[in-house]
Amino acid sequence: MLLSQLSECVEKRRGEGLLRQLTVSQPGLVDFCSNDYLGLARCTQLAAMIEEEYKEQHSLCGSTGSQLLTGNCSYYEQVEKELAVIYRGESALLANSGFDMNIGLFAALPQPGDYVVYDELMHNSAREGMKLSRGTSISFKHNDVRDLKTKLEALGPANIIVAVESVYSMDGHCAPLEEIVSICDQFNANLVVDEAHGVGVFGAQGEGLVVKLNLESKVFCRVYTFGKAPGVHGAVLVGPKALRDYMINYCKPLIYSTSLPMHSVCSIRASHERMRTECLLRQRHLYLFVQHFTDYIRNSPTLSINALDSPSAIQGVIVPGNEKVVRVSNFLKAKGWNVLPIRSPTVPKNSERLRIILHFHNSIDQLNGLLRHLEEALCT
């Protein structure tokens, strides 16, 4: 009975054209879809640095327990202190992933009677955490500071948490952080910023958009994930020491999960060292591609009407309809370009899109080839 119900759910999704499946990347395709913005995940120098760092620790293969049991050590705490300095925060707390930290943070942080007012495009990890919390969650229109202010004005006396991302993963939009900070000041609200797609891409050493704008003292806390631009794995919460102490006591993913193994912590430390010395160079190279992409789109009658306006490495071209966006993606793959379709309900119906991610390791010739084939696909 249970298996037949599960199969019916899968077949229903298949019939709607929404079935998710695990795939293996085809060899030879040019990467325009991964989150490896700075090319660090494939950097041989970083790989060597990680192995050297790990060798010096003479550690076990696994961490052997949660941080509250045997999964903590002086090296772990040393790296957390270094991350707090890098991201200009009072303290830092490592986590297994950005998803783990977000779901744990938003489940634990709001107290009874508190409000979380969040951008409607916040990542699923944060919204799932809110469902588990004791507070009340209210969304505001994406990047709409007037709607945010309206929502805050309607709330009575209470602790208010405002939650945004610095860069949104589905369209590449940056949050208007300076305006949001100003509104939070007016209402004594506590701002939480997810820097998953800002880390590495903004800031002289990849510290993210908050630090780039010198707003760290105005933000309650930030979550940085390391599986994107830093090219490794794990995440860190940066904020007040009192928040760190609270999370150690109340964040269930932290309390009940085995902590990151030493190799991952060594990877995090080495990645930040690599970003310290190479980040600006790689960012400049990356943003040459962003500018080239923007210029090409602007001068293309076929693409300009469908492109999303993004200042980041995440670009998008609207191709309405799940069937059509998949067909165009497959056409591009047949031409050698790895570009993934983003279908509804991940994005709203009729805003299905190709998400094109630009990288340090791409070339102008590759980008031109992709865009020419994209024009061809949309004209047929």
- Cis bond upstream, residue 345 (ω within 30): yes
Separation of alpha carbons 118 and 111, rounded Å: 16
One-letter-per-residue 3-state SS of 94-152: EECCHHHHHHHHHHHCCCCCCEEEEECCCCHHHHHHHHHCCCEEEEECCCCHHHHHHHH
DSSP state of 158: S
Whats the size of the chain, residue-wise?
A: 380
Separation of alpha carbons 164 and 258, rounded Å: 28
Q: Lowest mean pLDDT: which of 47-61, 71-85, 104-118, 143-157?
A: 47-61
Sheet arrangement for strand 340-342:
314-318, 353-357, 340-342
Give pLDDT, residue 307: 87
Separation of alpha carbons 346 and 53, rounded Å: 39
Q: State yes or no: pLDDT of 27 exceeds 90.
A: no
Q: Residue 266 — pLDDT band, cuts 50, 70, 90? A: very high
Angle at 41 between CA 40 and CA 47, to 5 degrees: 85
What is the set of active-site residues?
35, 123, 165, 169, 194, 197, 228
pLDDT digit string, tens, across residues 301-328: 989 888 888 889 999 999 999 999 999 9
| Cβ atoms 221, 238 nearer than 8 A | yes
Give pLDDT, residue 58: 76
Contacts of 228 (CB under 8 A, 6+ apart): 35, 36, 37, 196, 197, 199, 200
Query: CA torsion sign, 320 to 324 to 330 to 333?
Result: negative
Closest CA to 37 of 370, 361, 310: 361
Separation of alpha carbons 375 and 380, rounded Å: 9
pLDDT digit string, tens, across residues 194-228: 999 999 999 999 999 999 999 999 999 999 999 99
Contacts of 28 (CB under 8 A, 6+ apart): 336
Average pLDDT, the chain: 95
DSSP string, 294-350: HHHHHT-HHHHTTB---SSSEEEEE--SHHHHHHHHHHHHHTTEE-EEE-TTTS-TT
Instruction: Domain ranges for the chain, please list them.
Output: 26-42+278-379, 45-275
Examine domains 26-42+278-379 and 45-275 and report if their fold is the same: no
Assigned token pair, 195:
């820097």
The class that CATH gives domain 45-275 is: alpha beta
The class that CATH gives domain 26-42+278-379 is: alpha beta
Assigned token pair, 368:
């031109």
Assigned token pair, 319:
């191709």
pLDDT digit string, tens, across residues 32-91: 999 999 999 999 999 999 999 999 987 788 999 999 999 999 999 999 999 999 999 999
Amino acid found at 197? H
| Cβ atoms 163, 126 nearer than 8 A | yes
User: How many angstroms separate the Cα of 85 from the Cα of each of 26, 90, 247?
Assistant: 40, 8, 19
